[in-house]
């Protein structure tokens, strides 16, 4: 079920009313309701894959208990290994098997061997990369004695399948989300209204920004050789805002929806395009995945505590693995490699944690120095995004080549209407760059008629300028 669908528009109010007005006095039944509606939400796409998430939840539920019950480290490792093998095995089969099979066959043929390519005719289950990482962090935290396992199957299965963030995150840690299923939840009007504002802002980013940009991006990337250099540059910029509006829009809707039900999810985006360097960008972009790799891969590998070689090795490993997490294509690994290259000078000069504060804090106008830093960082990310969007590496290089040697440099071949919406997006988020989301409003300072005017304006933009419905980009990951 899509957040921007008519079905969800009906689904959410029904669940909300049932949750708060029918089962509000019984926490266990509320959790059971969340489990059932989460399975309905996921099964709406393809009910056959419900068995996969149920089986994954079953394995990790019991692995967590057996890790905790084991008396020695060897036994704990065996149960942790089972959890890791099952979760990574699911990813390997559904997401990477065909890729490795084709690459192996191509490599063998290059060596002169005739090898038939064997592929699986299977569909990639939506959200598998997200919920497998969420359950792996659960068993790892138990193994590290940072978390006690739950012995309530309803709570655990609801934690894994919690519908707001099931399909595309944030990738929640059990240490944050799981305890919230045990606490009696009371309806909080202030939290709920702020959640609705965040949902509205997420819908604006998805429907008005991302979907309008997607139309132009698809046209240009599918036939880039026919467009001028300026059009190619603008299309690359539009993709940067397409993927931001699409993914951060999903996160806003997910976090806002969770707040309607009394849950607090972690912030997943913190206005990354206002970053002054690439290190700051990665602290603000897809934060739940970035911190996951930091805590469960980067630090166990030694982090930044070793020598120069270890720092460089770990940095490239994390970024390339992060790229591969996004999909079975060399383009994603090149995207990760590029970001590692961008990050390297900051790491070697110990400036990777220089910009930890909010940019131009307490000011409305950015300084010239910071404007240059933002522009340079954005330029680098746009170059990397070209590889992320291109269907293959050759296409990405041809796209870049066409920018620099193409004819009709200043001729515009595309619709630039999305620029108006992008400017509006940047203006609003700049004013709220120190807040949890772009539509955070101080209800004391901003009077009700003004607030309702803002809401109505966004709703009009969504219905008036909403493009043809596009699937969320990160569903493919």
Active-site positions read 326
- Angle of helix 189-203 relative to helix 448-465, nearest 10 degrees, comes to 30
CB 274 within 8 A of CB 433: yes
Q: Distance between CA atoms of 73 and 292, rounded to whole angstroms?
A: 23
**Sequence-distant (≥ 6) Cβ neighbours of residue 158 within 8 angstroms:** 31, 32, 34, 35, 38, 181
Q: Distance between CA atoms of 437 and 427, rounded to whole angstroms?
A: 13
3-state SS of 148-174 is: CCCCCHHHHHHHHHCHHHCCCCCCCCH
Q: Distance between CA atoms of 173 and 247, rounded to whole angstroms?
A: 19
Q: Looking at beta carbons, which pairs linking 387-391 to residues 24 or more positions away fall under 8 Å?
A: 387/331, 387/332, 387/334, 387/335, 387/338, 388/243, 388/326, 388/331, 388/332, 388/335, 389/217, 389/221, 389/236, 389/239, 389/243, 390/221, 390/331, 391/329, 391/331
| E-state strands within 152-249 | none
- Within 13 Å, how many C-alpha atoms sit on residue 375's CB side? 7
CB 387 within 8 A of CB 334: yes
Report residue 165 as tokens.
């963030």
């Amino acid at each position: 079920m899509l957040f921007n669908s008519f079905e969800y528009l009906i689904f959410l109010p029904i669940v909300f009313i049932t949750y708060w007005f029918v089962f509000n006095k019984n926490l266990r039944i509320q959790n059971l309701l969340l489990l059932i509606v989460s399975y309905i939400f996921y099964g709406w796409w393809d009910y056959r894959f419900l068995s996969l998430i149920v089986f994954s939840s079953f394995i990790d539920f019991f692995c967590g208990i057996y890790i905790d019950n084991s008396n020695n480290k060897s036994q704990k490792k065996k149960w942790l290994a089972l959890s890791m093998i099952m979760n990574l095995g699911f990813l390997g089969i559904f997401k990477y098997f065909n890729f490795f099979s084709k690459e192996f066959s191509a490599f063998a043929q290059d060596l002169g061997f005739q090898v038939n390519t064997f592929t699986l005719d299977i569909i990639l289950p939506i959200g598998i990369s997200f919920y497998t990482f969420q359950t792996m962090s659960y068993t790892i935290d138990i193994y590290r004695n940072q978390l006690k396992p739950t012995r309530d199957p309803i709570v655990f299965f609801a934690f894994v399948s919690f519908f707001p963030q099931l399909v595309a995150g944030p990738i929640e840690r059990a240490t944050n989300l799981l305890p919230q299923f045990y606490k009696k939840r009371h309806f909080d009007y202030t939290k709920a209204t702020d959640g609705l504002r965040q949902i509205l802002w997420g819908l604006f980013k998805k429907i008005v920004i991302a979907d309008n940009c997607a139309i132009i991006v698809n046209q240009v990337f599918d036939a880039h050789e026919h467009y001028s250099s300026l059009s190619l540059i603008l299309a690359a910029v539009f993709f940067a805002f397409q993927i931001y509006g699409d993914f951060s829009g999903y996160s806003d809707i997910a976090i806002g929806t969770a707040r309607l039900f009394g849950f607090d999810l972690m912030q997943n985006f913190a206005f990354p395009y206002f970053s002054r360097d690439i290190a700051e960008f990665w602290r603000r972009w897809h934060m739940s995945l970035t911190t996951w790799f930091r805590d469960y891969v980067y630090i166990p590998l030694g982090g930044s505590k070793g020598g120069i070689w270890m720092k460089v090795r770990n940095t490239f490993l994390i970024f390339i693995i992060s790229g591969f997490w996004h999909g079975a294509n060399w383009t994603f690994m090149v995207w990760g490699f590029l970001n590692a290259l961008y990050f390297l000078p900051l790491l070697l000069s110990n400036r990777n944690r220089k910009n930890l504060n909010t940019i131009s804090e307490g000011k409305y106008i950015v300084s010239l120095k910071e404007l240059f830093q933002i522009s340079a960082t954005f330029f680098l990310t746009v170059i990397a995004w070209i590889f992320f969007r291109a269907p293959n590496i050759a296409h990405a290089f041809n796209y870049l080549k066409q920018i620099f040697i193409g004819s009709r440099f200043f001729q515009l071949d595309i619709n630039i209407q999305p620029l108006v919406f992008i400017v509006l997006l940047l203006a609003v988020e700049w004013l709220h760059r120190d807040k949890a989301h772009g539509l955070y409003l101080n209800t004391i300072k901003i009077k009700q008629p003004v607030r309702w005017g803002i809401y109505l304006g966004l709703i009009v933009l969504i219905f008036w300028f909403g493009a043809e419905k596009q699937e969320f980009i990160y569903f493919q990951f």
